[in-house]
Structure formats: C-alpha cells, structure tokens
C-alpha cells in the first residue's frame, strides 16, 4: 500500500491541500488503481528501443514550413485575457511576492 | 404540459423543413426551450441556458431570408461546458473555474457559428471530463432520460441527455477515453470520436492532449456526418490538427472484424445478444463478419489509466488561482496554490492529479509511464495491422447498459465502464457508437450501442456501417 508519507509528498508536488481523511482514502484508491495498471509491466520492450522512446508509431508527424503567420492570432484579445484575471491592477496580474529578503 | 414533438426530429429533417420554409429557426428553439422547461429541472442536463437564444434564432432566420442555406443554419445545439464560446461562461463543471468567461471561440464553435448554428446553452459533464457518468460534476449529476434513477453516461452526459430528451437537435461533446461514445450508448444516440487531429482542439479545456477529440452526439448517422464535415479540418491554432490528405483514403469495403475474445467475460448477456443481432443485420446488408485478435487490447484500460492521469496532472497545472477562476489566499505562495487547487478541484480530479503525479515521479516513471508507452505502441501496431484486413472493428460500446446513480462508488469499478472505448483514443483511430436496440432493466427500456473503429482518416467506413445498421 502507498504510504501516508508518499501521498503527502505527492500532494505537495501537485500543490493540493488534502484533509487527513482524504489522504487515507487516496492511500487505498491509488494503491488499488496501481495494482490494476501494473498489468502494463508485462509489455515487452522491443530490442533496440527503450521505455523512453515515446509514441512514435502511434502518431504521424505532420511538419509545416517555419514561416511567419499572417496577423496576430491573439489580436484584440488582450483585454479579454486580462479580464479573466482574478486579481488585477491596471494591465497587470497581481501575484504574491515570491523573492523574500 | 407535454413535450414539443418538433424538437424530436433529426437535423437533416429540420434542415429540409427550414429550407422548405415549413418551419423557422425560432420555432425550433422555442420547441427546445419548452422541452427544457418541462424536463430539465429533473434531468439537470444544462448548466446554463443562454438568455439570447431567440435572438440567435431570429438572426439565423434573417440569414436564411438573405439567401444562406447551410444545413446547420438555424439548428439549435447543446454545447459541453469544456468548449469555449466567446463571452459565455465556461467551467468544465468545476468550481475552480467559477466566474470564468471565455475570451475566444473554440475553432469548432467558430465553424458552427459560420454555418449558422444556434447555441442553446452549456451542458453538464464530469468535472474536467473526468468520469463515465456525469456524477463527478460540481453541479450535481445529470439523469438518464430513459430512467431517471440511472446515469446518462459521461463525461458528455449533459450533451447526451439534452439531445435524448429533445432539448436540442444536435450537440457537441469531447472524448478522451469514451466520453462521447459511452453517453451516446446509454442515451440511444450516435456518438463520434473522430481521428486524432481531424477536429481542432483549439478552445477545448484540455484533459489528455494526446487523447482528446471533440465530436458530435446526434440522433442519426447522417447528422453526425454533417456536423463532422462542418467542424473538421486543419487549424493553425492546433498544431496536431490534420488535413484531408494526411492519411491515405481506403477503398470502401464491407469487412468487419470482431475481437470476440475480449468479451467472453464481463459483458452483460443481453448486451451481447443485441450485439450478435446487429452483426446478423449487417450480414444481411452485405457485410462480411470475421474473427480478429487484438491481444494487447486487454492491456488498453491499464495503459489508459497511466497515460491519461499523467497528461491530466500536467494539463491541470495551469489552474493556479492566478490566471483565471477561483483564487484563494493562504499564508504563503505555496498555500495560495494548494488551497485554491485543493478546494477548487473535486475529489475525482484530485485523485487523477495525484495518480498522474505518482506515475510521472522519478523512480516510477519507467515502470508506469514508460511501460504504458510501449504497450500503447504495440496496441496501435495491432490495430493498424488488423485494419489492413478489415474495414471496421466492432464491439459493444459498453459492457453494460446505463448503471444506477451512486452504484459505482469505487473509482476502479467506474473506470471499467471505459474498457472498450479507450483503445481508439490511445491509437488515434476514429470510432463511433451506433444504437443497437435496448435491454430491459426494472421495467425500463435502456438503450445500448455498438462501436465501430476504422483506420485513421476513414470516418467514411464508420458512417457506412452505421447507416447500414440504421436502415430498417
């Protein structure tokens, strides 16, 4: 079973605040799901490739010319994007001070 | 007050009537609005019905009066809440997007607007499309119009229920692991998951970017084809979108492969009976039915529940309380994030983000994500090989008819509802669910669907098989 500490570390990595009760539930749920998906361990890695080869054969690569596109795709949308900000001052998003002295 | 019959016709039939001036777009939206008034209080298919639909209809009627004639001109649509319509709320049925107003049109919406479609409202869904029942919505579950004690399927359950209850003539959903096809199956509709890239993903709230596709839910195959032809196409705003000629066209054959070994266990006997009856009907229409083997397909669901949460955990990192939606304050920057995300996301979303973070974390990456990627390759190679021999692969869309609300409280049991649908998302193939009659449960007739999968770019084979089955 996935440990309480592992769940808490993952939650911190994922920036999720969880209650103690949820940590417990997730220990059980994540363990059950991992047990099920474990089946993929039977997949054989073909010789000459590694587990990090990506999904090359699944998808067909479609290349395009590296040229400038006409017009700005976001033209006229600036104000709309700014309007979505939860906290705004003028044309700036308000964020918390990150660098401390 | 009864429901309006006018809203129960197909898009194709409505387009004919509109063209012949037998009805107006205004008549159609009024019929839909009436049915919404009668049924949606209990069904909960719509999160919001827009307040300007009659004005939209009048505009469509004016466009027709001026000589425009697209078959979707004046057709009222229900749109899933993860597809952006400029100036409208969009929230993926999540509290974390509370108050968010879309700043641009999704490409699919732009194309429907150009054609003259009307948007009735945005429909309920599992939060961020995480689910197979629409029970994971932050705004309460949607009910199945055929039996209100049951789920409509998910995650596009609101779009499916809206259509099945004649509260729209067409609808758009999104499909990451079956989210169009499974609700189509549970609600007696046609549901198409196009080839990966055939329809632009620009303006969809992303779930699993290597899996997601938008597509239609409709009453007939012809309607699905019509919508697909309207919304497909290469788009500079989605670099994964493909054109007409990306994949070679196949010749229209009539061979259907059935991977019978995959459903010897775990499939409802009545569902299987309907499936066999449908195959017999296809034989009578000149189709040849052959047995095929897809040995890696038994791993598909395990692969999916690694790849999908991995992509979910990365895609959902953007919901941080800074750029849009909910923003909660703690005592530090870390706490701002953790509080906003902990409270803004619902339990299933939190579970998937955690699972994705786990399978991608150092030390586990190769064992889970790496292995899943290898299995995904094998699966894709098998499907491609099989589709060189047959034109379509057929299986029941879901192992059972619609289940009861609250029945699948264990997450893993819910995930098993996707067992036959996830393969097409992992391999990028197009797949469609077509109604194959109904089964009786608790005295209610519950629809079930048959799924066809075709080669990349060969939606035509799906429409052909679907139409053959649809003909009386």
**ipTM over the 0.90 cut-off:** yes
pLDDT the model gives residue B262: 93
Residue range B346-372: mean pLDDT, rounded: 94
Flag the least confident range among B353-357, B399-403, B414-418: B414-418
Any long-range contacts for A56-61 (C-beta under 8 Å, 24+ apart)?
A56/B377, A57/B377, A57/B380, A57/B381, A58/B376, A58/B377, A58/B380, A58/B426, A58/B427, A58/B428, A59/B196, A59/B210, A59/B428, A60/B242, A60/B246, A60/B247, A60/B456
The rounded distance, in Å, linking the Cα atoms of B411 and A32 is: 9
Q: Are B191 and B152 in contact (CB under 8 A)?
A: no
Our CA-based measurement puts residue A12 at a distance from the nearest CA of chain B, in whole angstroms, of 8
pLDDT the model gives residue A52: 59
Class of domain B1-255+397-472: alpha beta
Task: Give whole-number Cα distances, B8 to B28, B129, B150, B153, B220, in Å.
Answer: 10, 27, 22, 21, 12
CB contact under 8 A, A10 and B239: no
B94, B132, B137, B155: which one is catalytic? B155
pLDDT the model gives residue B191: 98
Residue A101 forms contact with B (CB below 8 Å): no
Q: Are B158 and B181 in contact (CB under 8 A)?
A: no
CB contact under 8 A, B354 and A14: yes
The rounded distance, in Å, linking the Cα atoms of B90 and B87 is: 9
The rounded distance, in Å, linking the Cα atoms of A63 and B385 is: 25
B236 band by pLDDT with thresholds 50, 70 and 90: confident
Beta strand B288-291 with B255-258: parallel, antiparallel or unpaired? parallel
Q: Are B115 and B192 in contact (CB under 8 A)?
A: no
Q: Which of B211, B236, B80, B214 is closest to B156 using CA atoms? A: B80
Task: Give whole-number Cα distances, B56 to B46, B122, B389, in Å.
Answer: 18, 15, 48
Mutate to test the interface with A, among B357, B367, B410, B425 (most CBs of A within 10 A): B357
CB contact under 8 A, B371 and A17: no
Tens-binned pLDDT, residue by residue, of chain A (101 aa)? 899 999 999 999 999 999 999 999 999 999 999 999 999 988 776 666 665 555 545 556 777 778 877 665 666 678 888 888 999 999 998 888 887 77
pLDDT tens figures, B115-167: 999 999 999 999 999 999 999 999 999 999 999 999 999 999 999 999 999 99
Residues of A in contact with B325 (CB under 8 A): 86
Residues of A in contact with B345 (CB under 8 A): 16
> Tokens representing A21?
């009760």
Q: Are B428 and B291 in contact (CB under 8 A)?
A: no
The rounded distance, in Å, linking the Cα atoms of B325 and A57 is: 38
The mean of the pLDDT values for chain B is 96
* Percentage of chain B exceeding pLDDT 90: 91
Domains of chain A are: 4-42 (1.10.20)
pLDDT tens figures, B287-315: 999 999 999 999 999 999 999 999 999 99
Residues of A in contact with B100 (CB under 8 A): 84
Residue B337: closest CA among chain A residues belongs to which residue?
A15
């Amino acid at each position: 079973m996935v440990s309480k500490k592992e769940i808490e570390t993952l939650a911190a990595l994922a920036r999720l605040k969880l209650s103690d009760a949820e940590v417990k539930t997730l220990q059980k749920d994540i363990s059950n799901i991992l047990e099920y998906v474990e089946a993929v361990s039977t997949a054989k890695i073909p010789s000459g490739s590694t587990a990090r080869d990506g999904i090359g054969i699944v998808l067909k690569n479609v290349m395009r010319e590296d040229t400038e596109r006409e017009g700005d795709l976001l033209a006229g949308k600036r104000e709309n994007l700014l309007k979505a900000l939860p906290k705004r001052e003028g044309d700036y998003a308000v964020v918390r001070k990150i660098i401390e002295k | 007050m009864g429901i309006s019959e006018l809203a129960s016709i197909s898009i194709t039939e409505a387009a004919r009537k509109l063209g012949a001036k037998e009805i107006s777009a205004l008549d159609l939206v009024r019929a839909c609005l009436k049915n919404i008034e009668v049924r949606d209080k209990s069904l909960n298919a719509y999160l919001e019905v827009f307040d300007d639909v009659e004005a939209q209809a009048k505009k469509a009627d004016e466009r027709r009066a001026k000589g425009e004639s697209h078959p979707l001109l004046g057709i009222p649509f229900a749109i899933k809440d993860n597809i952006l319509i400029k100036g409208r709320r969009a929230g993926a049925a999540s509290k974390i997007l509370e108050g968010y107003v879309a700043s641009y049109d999704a490409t699919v919406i732009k194309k429907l607007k150009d054609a003259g479609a009307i948007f009735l409202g945005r429909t309920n869904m599992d939060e961020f499309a995480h689910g197979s029942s629409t029970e994971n919505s932050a705004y309460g579950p949607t009910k199945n119009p055929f039996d209100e004690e049951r789920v409509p399927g998910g995650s596009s359950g609101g779009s499916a229920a809206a259509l099945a209850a004649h509260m729209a003539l067409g609808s758009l959903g999104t499909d990451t692991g079956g989210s169009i096809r499974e609700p189509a199956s549970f609600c007696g509709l046609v549901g198409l998951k196009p080839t990966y890239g055939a329809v632009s993903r620009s303006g969809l709230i992303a779930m699993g970017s290597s899996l997601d596709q938008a597509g239609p839910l409709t009453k007939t195959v012809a309607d699905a084809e019509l919508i697909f032809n309207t919304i497909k196409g290469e788009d500079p705003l989605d670099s994964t979108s493909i054109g007409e000629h990306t994949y070679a066209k196949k010749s229209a054959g009539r061979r259907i492969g059935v991977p019978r070994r995959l459903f010897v266990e775990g499939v409802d006997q009545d569902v299987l009976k309907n499936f066999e009856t449908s195959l017999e009907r296809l034989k009578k229409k000149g189709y040849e039915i052959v047995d095929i083997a897809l040995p890696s397909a038994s791993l598909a669901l395990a692969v999916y529940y690694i790849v999908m949460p991995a992509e979910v955990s990365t895609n959902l990192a953007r919901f941080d309380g800074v750029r849009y939606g909910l923003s909660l304050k703690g005592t530090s920057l870390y706490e701002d994030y953790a509080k906003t995300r902990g409270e803004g996301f619902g339990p299933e979303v939190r579970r998937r983000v955690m699972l994705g973070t786990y399978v991608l974390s150092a030390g586990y990456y190769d064992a889970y994500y790496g292995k899943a990627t290898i299995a995904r390759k094998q699966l894709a190679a098998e499907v491609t090989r099989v589709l060189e021999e047959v034109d379509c692969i057929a299986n029941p869309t879901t192992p059972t008819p619609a289940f009861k609300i609250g029945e699948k409280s264990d997450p893993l049991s819910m995930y098993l509802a996707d067992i036959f649908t996830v393969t097409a998302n992992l391999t990028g193939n197009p797949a469609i669910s077509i109604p194959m009659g109904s089964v009786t449960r608790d005295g209610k007739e519950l629809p079930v669907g048959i799924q066809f999968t075709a080669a990349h770019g060969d939606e035509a084979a799906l429409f052909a098989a679907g139409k053959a089955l649809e003909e009386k």
